[in-house]
Chains A and B, each alone.
Chain A
Amino acid sequence: MLVLSPLLIPLGAAILTALLPRHRELRKGASLLGAIALLLCALILFARVAVDGRQSVALGDWPLPYAIELAADLLSAALVLITAILGTAVLLYEWRWNETTSAGPGLHPLLHTLLASTGAVFLAADLFNLYVWFELMLVSVLGLLVLGGARRNLEAAFKYFAMNMLGTLLLLSAVGMLYGAAGQLNFSALRQVAGQPELASALPVYVGLALLAFLLKASAFPLFAWLPASYHTLPTPVLALVGGLLTKVAAYVLLRLLADVFVLTPGILLDALGWLAMITMVVGVLGAAYHWDLRRILAFHVVSQIGYLLFGIALATPAGAAGTVYFMFHNILVKANLFLIAGLVWASAGHYDLRRVGGLYRARPLLALLFLVSAFSLAGVPPSTGFWGKFLLLREAFAQDHFLWGGVALAAGLLTLYSMSKIWLEGFWKAHPLGASAASAPVPGLAYAAVGGLSLLILGMGIFPEPFIRCAETATDLFWMMGAA
């Protein structure tokens, strides 16, 4: 039952917020309570998994390869916990947020179905079940994209739909073919079947197809165009949740399938993934360098950071996987926090475009400080979370003599620093183009509190990285081991 809670609580909260009378505070209260309940359950689940090991539920009490299994190992439980933290912070931030007041009654139910589907993807131990939760995630995001109702929202939703639908269809075909070849859908059963020599030639092809689907959903080069085309039309709190989580969910599934379930190590597949990672990193960061709208800059950084995750997966060792997982913890929180800070810049100075804002260092020194914490983390300045994440990945890359990959990753980090200094110089340092008083519109205090809480967490993860790195290492110590089931 505890394993099911990260999916049942948000689903319950979604139904509750949809049914409650149209009273704003009441709905927001129910929504926030749902998120806090989710956070508590995720904490308990994480503690249980950390002490007792893997927890799993076979639905309907059927014997295992046949029942649909949901399982929480340390990796799943940690990611569910981070999802819950992010969900709570975002709903706290949204409490008095003006941008979403006109969003209509669909907002909170959709946010909770989004939380439920991400939690369920992290917990799914069954290939078809995974596909169904990805569909729910797609439906939730589409709903959130069209909530604004303006032409730009609808167009963004269509672009998002067309590309992600294609990914979904690729995934469905891959699931069908994998089932046809292996005769199993359950992860543990697939793990046992995957080593059979008669599948050795077919499996890489089918897994490659699933890989393609998740690369699309993770916004890897060259299939990332849907992401910067659609994300910036979302209201900021929703943008933070979507931009912080979704592509990372796809990267998690890539790691799970390649390193844990199928453990395929044909060199060509990993080389291709590594080079794709490099191109994704560089193209994403160059796109960010071109843009001036805060939301679009950060959306391109989402693409770029996915490159680091793919890079860690392509290293194909437990150490590389641990680096990937730590980087994922870091990236979900930091990226979401930066989106939330972009919202505070909009609220204080009146625009998302860096050419239309300024003077925030003088008007909002606290906001400047919060931005610095997250910006340094994203760029990887020691001792921040980004530094430790990149350090773990680069150490493993250099140990494997992948000097070129490591060099590209470092260069992309430098360009990230360029992008962050651009935001600093244009948004915080220079004077506001409309005069000094234009940069200090009142900002909801709860939004500050949410950003402050996330910033403290990021700061703590950077200054005391050992427990988090140890958690990532424990979660992945069996990855890339043939037949370790």
Chain B
Amino acid sequence: MSLVLMLTISLVVAAGVFLTLSRDLFRMIVGLAVLASAANLIVFMSGRPASLIPPVVEAGTSELPVAAANPLPQALVLTAIVIGFALLCFALLLGAAITMQSGTDDVDQMRESEPEANDPFKPAVLED
């Protein structure tokens, strides 16, 4: 189980990095979302995911079985998923707004806030 998870995480990270390095705005956003899933899986992995014993104290006993799963990383990962989801929604809207205003989804064309210099020694003047 751990090995499967490890291989999955490395695959997901590879896919995420590949997409994030793209010049296409939306591929970048999807890439970051995929990387976020990898991070979530890493958190998930920290809580003995291979255990088949649920983290429940049986009636009549007062302690968890020794090899029971750890529920805390699952709570943590839920928080992280929710935050990541909100940020993904924001990023998609932001990407849509940028493409609509500039007419391109090439991130190399995003020079409005940092205009290219037309003088060899001095930067361009930023007009407000």
**Chain B interface (Cβ within 8 Å of chain A)?**
20, 25, 28, 32, 35-36, 38-40, 42-47, 72-73, 76, 79-80, 83, 86-87, 90-91, 94-95, 97-98, 101-102, 107, 110, 112-114, 122-123, 125-126, 128
- Determine the chain A residues whose CB is within 8 A of the CB of B87 once the complex forms: 135, 138-139, 161, 165
- Determine the chain A residues whose CB is within 8 A of the CB of B32 once the complex forms: 162, 165-166, 169
Chain A 219-238 per-residue mask, 1 if CB under 8 angstroms from chain B, else 0: 00000000001101100000
Asked if A161 meets B113 with Cβ closer than 8 Å, knowing A155-B98, A169-B36, the reply is no
Chain A 166-179 per-residue mask, 1 if CB under 8 angstroms from chain B, else 0: 10011011011101
Tell whether, in the assembled complex, residue A172 and residue B80 are in contact, meaning their CB atoms are under 8 Å apart.
yes
Among A77-85, A191-199, A348-356, A407-415, the stretch that binds chain B is A348-356
CA distance A142 to B83 in the complex (A): 14
| A103–chain B nearest beta-carbon distance, Å | 14
- Determine the chain B residues whose CB is within 8 A of the CB of A356 once the complex forms: 125
- Determine the chain A residues whose CB is within 8 A of the CB of B97 once the complex forms: 146, 154
Q: A158 interface residue, CB < 8 Å from B?
A: yes
Can you list 27 A-B pairs, Cβ within 8 angstroms, ordered by A?
A132-B83, A146-B94, A151-B101, A154-B97, A154-B98, A154-B101, A155-B102, A157-B94, A158-B107, A159-B110, A161-B94, A162-B32, A166-B32, A166-B35, A173-B39, A175-B43, A175-B76, A176-B43, A176-B46, A177-B42, A179-B47, A179-B76, A180-B46, A180-B73, A293-B125, A293-B126, A355-B122
Tell whether, in the assembled complex, residue B113 and residue A156 are in contact, meaning their CB atoms are under 8 Å apart.
yes
Tell whether, in the assembled complex, residue A176 and residue B101 are in contact, meaning their CB atoms are under 8 Å apart.
no
Tell whether, in the assembled complex, residue A293 and residue B35 are in contact, meaning their CB atoms are under 8 Å apart.
no
Q: A448 interface residue, CB < 8 Å from B?
A: no
Tell whether, in the assembled complex, residue B36 and residue A173 are in contact, meaning their CB atoms are under 8 Å apart.
no
Question: What interface size band does chain A fall in?
Answer: 35 or more
The 9 closest A-B pairs by CB, nearest first: A180-B46, A176-B43, A152-B113, A152-B112, A172-B39, A155-B110, A176-B42, A169-B39, A173-B42
- Determine the chain A residues whose CB is within 8 A of the CB of B122 once the complex forms: 290, 292, 355
- Determine the chain B residues whose CB is within 8 A of the CB of A361 once the complex forms: none
**Residue from the set B46, B73, B101 with the largest chain A CB neighbour count within 10 Å:** B46
CA distance A59 to B95 in the complex (A): 38
CA distance A138 to B40 in the complex (A): 18
| A288–chain B nearest beta-carbon distance, Å | 12
